[in-house]
Structure 1
Amino acid sequence: MNFCDPTTYREPNFLSRVLALQSPVGGSGWKLALGIHPKHATTYTEEDWGTFVALLQNPLVVGMSEVGFDFSVPSQRWPDQEALFLRLLGQGTQGRVLILHLRGGAHADTSYAVHKLSRRLLTRQCSPLQRIHLHCYNSDEVQVKAWAIAFPHCYFGFTGLARHFNASQVRGLRAVAADRVVLETDSPHLPPHPGMGDNSPDFLGDVGAIVADLRGLPLADLMRQTVRNGQALYGIFG
């Protein structure tokens, strides 16, 4: 479960309410990823920060998410996103998965810019063995190779948006090594089918069908592989 809006986890009894949702299967329940989304870089408070730091110490929290850059907002806000990103990295990422939200702006070159900037900062702050999950990946083959070289334990998450990929994005999806592909629903957002209402984790197989088709694989093979990949990335084995 991913929480990147401080207004959510600052609510009273946040953890106890999350724990109440746990439905253990084979002895394992939900794990959490916690962060401050880059769009909140100009609005989060010091109280929010203190709550985040305290919750980060909970053993249920296995990832820092979603963090990174979102250049869809006015450029005047980009420096605040960089400052927040560095502050988040300063909390330490060893032992946690770093789940990156990297979104370009209106100009095509900003898509490359967010990837290059985040890699430059990460190489200064993190071990090359850092486990990274590129959330909602939609860039090209060049960026796939650059991430794989800089961080060999980088995984690429694909959502229902893959249905709408252009040729360059499809080549990027196909360039990802089989053991580095993970599936995401990003629910309640990004429904895999046009005209759907809210998305949910129930549609993970629908996302898998889109990705399997683009990679030219049987759906069952892709689902088995991506389950193994997700377990390896997050260190969760049922």
Structure 2
Amino acid sequence: MSVREYLAVSGKANLSLARGNTSQASGRPVTTRISAFDSHFHLDRSLVKLGMPYYSDIRTILDADVGIRPQVEVDVVGGVLIYCDPETYPTSFPAQAGFGVAVGLHPRKTARFNPELYRHLKHLLRNERVVALGEVGLDRTEPSDTWGLQEEVLTRILELSSPCQPIILHIRDGEDRQSGVLYLECLELFKPNVARTQKVVLHCFTGAQEVVVSWCKAFPNCFFSYSGQARLFTEAQKQAVRRIPANRLLIETDSPYFRPAGARMCTPSFLGDVANIIASYRDSEVRDVCQLNLRNSTQLFGLEIA
């Protein structure tokens, strides 16, 4: 299914959920608002899309009117703000309880890497509000002549990894490659460069069950985070969702990306819609998925909810 087809049908698939706030898995109504944690969203990029300064407050994006309301409304009580563009690296950090910051270098920005940037990343990672290194990784949708540099830069950045700060990985393969190949290639790059005890988050995960098994075997502290992209999953990908250990499951919006049909962009407020997709695959409830993610995320990133 193309992105255009997805945008055309996704708003219709769960129309009944918008009326009565129900779980797709059970059809029973959700009677109270659910506390939720967005494990991955881009505040800077989201604010720019809204035409606002990239350093604006978190509440600005949480309260943003993007044209439609979520089908499953939640209270976003925490999250991880991802800064992976050198031009918008944070100069101040959120004071709100429950929210932390991750800093990294997106693989599309690897040409910006130099010794000064390396030192700046190292400095930022020492801040107590920075809870993770990321996002970093490999992106094969970029021109092939950049792939070698991506691997070189990722290897250098991994020198900054620490057991107390999870690494958030972006792994995106080209459409003409077998699904899951790049996850396993990246795993082989990780093995000699990262401690086995390192906490790792495979952000916006799309892999099948064999990828889950391989990463968990090599890195027992590996987590798998799902976004709204999960709505397009194949049966093999859905099977992987069902088999993720409960204490290794995360959800995210990756805002401003994966916008719902009818919305100008995605925001963390749509996390309940992501939870609804994952709940349907795991034969679970939206509330259970949100609570599971909240517990896993706050423990992983060392954050406390007010």
Same fold at TM > 0.5: yes
Percentage identity across aligned positions?
33
**Partner residue, 1:143:** 211
Q: Pairwise CA RMSD of aligned residues? A: 1.6
Please say if 1:15 is aligned against 2:86: no
Please say if 1:128 is aligned against 2:196: yes
How far apart are the structure 2 equivalents of 1:172 and 1:195? Answer: 29
Q: Is the 8 A contact 1:6 1:44 kept in 2?
A: no
User: Which protein has greater RCO, CA pairs closer than 8 Å, 6+ apart?
Assistant: 2
1:113 CA displacement = 3.1
Which of residues 89, 103, 111 is equivalent to 1:34? Answer: 103
Once the two structures are superposed, the pairs formed by residues 76-87 of structure 1 within 5 Å of their partners are 76-87=145-156
How far apart are the structure 1 equivalents of 2:159 and 2:239? Answer: 35
Paired AA for residue 274 in structure 2: V
How far apart are the structure 2 equivalents of 1:144 and 1:194? Answer: 30
Once the two structures are superposed, the pairs formed by residues 48-197 of structure 1 within 5 Å of their partners are 48-109=117-178, 111-191=179-259, 193-197=260-264
Query: Gaps spanning 5+ residues in structure 1: where?
Result: none
How far apart are the structure 1 equivalents of 2:298 and 2:98? Answer: 13
Paired AA for residue 2 in structure 1: I
1:46 CA displacement = 4.1
Secondary structure of 2:224's counterpart equals strand
* Higher Cα Rg, which structure: 2
Deviation digits for residues 97-150 of structure 1 (CA, Å, limit 9, x no counterpart): 1000001013223x4332122211221122211111110001111101111111
1:181 CA displacement = 0.8
Deviation digits for residues 190-217 of structure 1 (CA, Å, limit 9, x no counterpart): 12x3232111111111110111011110
Which of residues 209, 216, 222 is equivalent to 2:289? Answer: 222
Secondary structure of 1:124's counterpart equals coil
Q: Is the 8 A contact 1:36 1:65 kept in 2?
A: yes
How far apart are the structure 1 equivalents of 2:138 and 2:291? Answer: 31
Paired AA for residue 82 in structure 2: N
How far apart are the structure 2 equivalents of 1:82 and 1:171? Answer: 30
Secondary structure of 2:295's counterpart equals helix
